[in-house]
Amino acid sequence: MTYPLITRTDRAPQPTRKTTYASDVDIKTEIRDFLTSRRARITPEDVGITSFGQRRVPGLRREEVATLAGLSIEYYNRLERGNLGGASETVLDALADALRLDDAERAHLFDLARASQPASRRARRATTSNVRPTVQWMLDSMTTAAAFASNGHLDVLSANQLGRALYAPMFRDGPRSANWARFVFLNRDAHEIYTDWDRAAKETVALLRLQAGANPHDRALTDLIGELATQSEEFRVLWAAHNVRLHTKGVKRLNNPIVGELELHYDRLDLTADRLMLFVYTAEPGTRSAESLALLASWAASEAGGLTRERSARSPRPHGSRLAPPRL
């Protein structure tokens, strides 16, 4: 997996810094940085350890984590150096408990352990790049909710009419722009769409980091991460934090250019056979957001109908055909 690295070149006689991207970073680096960052955020007081004197490292020491996990110091040091491949589920669970990992972080730890196995480099199924007609029919049948189908690269492979209206700037520049991560970090309109852009950015990076841990040798995912890290300072900072998150449900606060502010609830549904994620946005009935979402749906339907009529008017009619009489 290719991860962005900050390479320091500020040693004499080169006093400057530059950012480089390695062509192949060992998964051990990812494991080491993740475990170190999780260890650093826990204070001795958090786990009932009495601390004496000044500590040289933030958070817990390695030996303290080892004690909490019931492991020898030597074995924990080996794990933190990136050697998770031979660790049993019992050891991983104990380590997750000691570091107080949440569900997303625990899943990420197990993903990293699997990625440490030599077999993880075997060919995997390619990430889905299109949707089946029946999936599109399902999206289109949701007329009062905005719905999207995405893959592990966060490409928005399809959306229903209301979904395209809700995130109109993301679909404006064609299929390549329809990617959640690119939209958030590389499209200035995202700062207008998201009322809390910082939160949206953190959630996007955390989801992308989780996907990267599960698919560490996915070249397209690697390229996406490199592209974002090269072009966005905000992305680089958030990526270095090693935070992960399960993006299954929550609330989105958006500012749509047509109907204004919206507070929408989203739920994620996984299509396992297709390796797709469906995101459905709905509004609480009886609220102002529900009225605004209904108005946006009506506007989108009207726009789509107008476009259809315009195309129909431009299309030549077969010779001898005549317009049908109006229905009264």
For residues 282-286, give the mean pLDDT.
Answer: 97
What does the alpha-carbon distance between residue 168 and residue 88 come to, in Å, rounded to a whole number?
47
Structure tokens of 84?
């998770």
User: Which pTM does this prediction carry?
Assistant: 0.79
The confidence score (pLDDT) of residue 24 equals: 39
Nearest alpha-carbon partner for 71 in 93, 53, 54 = 93
Is 182 a residue whose pLDDT tops 90? yes
Sequence-ordered list of residues with C-beta below 8 angstroms from that of 190, at least 6 positions apart, any chain: 169, 170, 183, 184, 197, 200
Residue carrying the six token digits 């020491």:
61
Is residue 6 predicted with pLDDT exceeding 90?
no
Mean pLDDT of the chain, nearest integer: 83
Q: Where are the beta strands (DSSP E) in 43-166?
A: 146-150, 156-159
d(C-alpha 96, C-alpha 38), whole Å: 10
pLDDT digits (tens, 9 = 90+) for 259-276: 999 999 999 999 988 889
pLDDT at 259: 96
Q: Tens digits of per-residue pLDDT, 186-208?
A: 999 999 999 999 999 999 999 99
The reported pLDDT for the residue numbered 310 is: 54
pLDDT bucket at 97, cuts 50 / 70 / 90: very high
Q: What is the mean pLDDT of residues 138-160?
A: 94
What integer pLDDT is reported at residue 9 of this predicted model? 35
Two structure tokens written together for 273: 């056979």
**Contact between 294 and 144 (Cβ < 8 Å):** yes
